[in-house]
Amino acid sequence: MASGNAIRGSRVGAGPMGEAERGESAPRLRLSFWCSNGHETQPSFASDAQVPDTWDCPRCGFPAGQDRENPPAPPRTEPYKTHLAYVRERRSDADGEAILAEALAKLRGEI
C-alpha cells in the first residue's frame, strides 16, 4: 500500500529557487579583457569592487588587460637547464681544463 506522503520523491531544499528566496543580487559590472592572442574574456565584478589591472585568459592562460590594442606581454619562460649548463655558467673553459688536468694527474698517481 502506498503511503500518503505528498513530498515523496523530493529532497530537502528542493523547490523553486528565485529572487524571493535568495534576495536581491548585487549590481554587477561586466568588463572586457584581451590577451596577446586576441582572446576576449568578460568577467563580471560587483559594481563596488576594485577591478584588477590584469586577468588570466581562460583559453590560453596568458595575462589579459583592458586595452585591446595593447594587451600585456605573455610571461617569458626559461628553458630547462641541465647540470652541465649550470656548471658552464660558473666556470670558464680554462677553469674546466685545469680541473680536468688535476683529476687526470690524480688518477695517474702523479700527485
pLDDT computed for residue 21 by the predictor: 65
Do 44 and 29 touch, CB atoms closer than 8 A? Answer: yes
- Rounded CA-CA distance 102/111 in Å is 8
3-class secondary-structure state, position 43: coil
Helix (H) or strand (E) holding 94: helix 93-108
CATH 2.20.28.270 domain position(s) in the chain: 28-65
Q: What CATH topology corresponds to 28-65? A: Rubrerythrin, domain 2 (2.20.28)
Enumerate the known binding-site residues: 35, 39, 57, 60
Grid coordinates representing 11?
529532497
Binding-site residues for Zn(2+), in ranges, read: 35, 39, 57, 60
What's the pLDDT tens digit per position in 46-87? 989 999 999 999 999 999 999 999 999 998 888 899 998 898
